[in-house]
Chains A and B, each alone.
Chain A
């Protein structure tokens, strides 16, 4: 079954304690990205990756890091989490079809992070 898998689904942590949210896709997609969803703000892009070892900032990258060492995995790293990073996080993947963007993104089920 084609899917994007995030772990963990729920996480409560304390300020400053490094954490990693994993994301894996089994569709051989080139493109992966992270979004956060906040009340009244919708979904906003944090980071994206066009392929292995190619990553770049989205709209709200502050406080986050990513890496893309393998095509299937795209972990989101919070080196020193703060309460304003409490949010619902989604990983997404899609095929890359060059400059023609006529393809849909597939989303994981989400990770609800609470930083206290």
Chain B
């Protein structure tokens, strides 16, 4: 049973426009959410996170929104740049003794010049 879902395997946007990546989760006990970016042949790199007690977190061009009632979060990238082209993973953590990241399957973002 997949607890974190990224339903769009890929997304293509034009440089300068907004990229919106979506993520849904099923476990209401998740209390921390993270976005990771992954280039080929590299490990995932932390991008931005949000606690379940917040509904928005912003860091430069990246903003994450959390809608707890809908069990939905999204990552907005504005403006999108060609260097943003990568696979983006949504991940969630339960509180407790195991700091386990439960990942979605990822969305390949392509930003076209």
Contacts and interface: CB of A to CB of B under 8 A. Distances in A.
B41 A43 contact: no
Report the contact-size class of chain A (Cβ under 8 Å from the partner).
20 to 34
Interface string A43-63: 111001010000010110000
Size category, B interface = 20 to 34
Contacts, number: 69
A104 B99 contact: no
Contacts of B34: 104-105
Nearest to B45: A107
A105 to B, nearest CB: 6
A115 B20 CA distance: 38
Give 7 closest A-B pairs by Cβ, nearest first. Answer: A107-B43, A104-B46, A42-B105, A43-B103, A101-B93, A42-B103, A101-B32
Given A101-B93, A101-B95, A102-B51, 15 more contacts: A4-B43, A42-B103, A42-B105, A43-B44, A50-B97, A50-B98, A58-B100, A92-B101, A94-B99, A99-B95, A99-B96, A101-B96, A104-B34, A107-B36, A107-B44
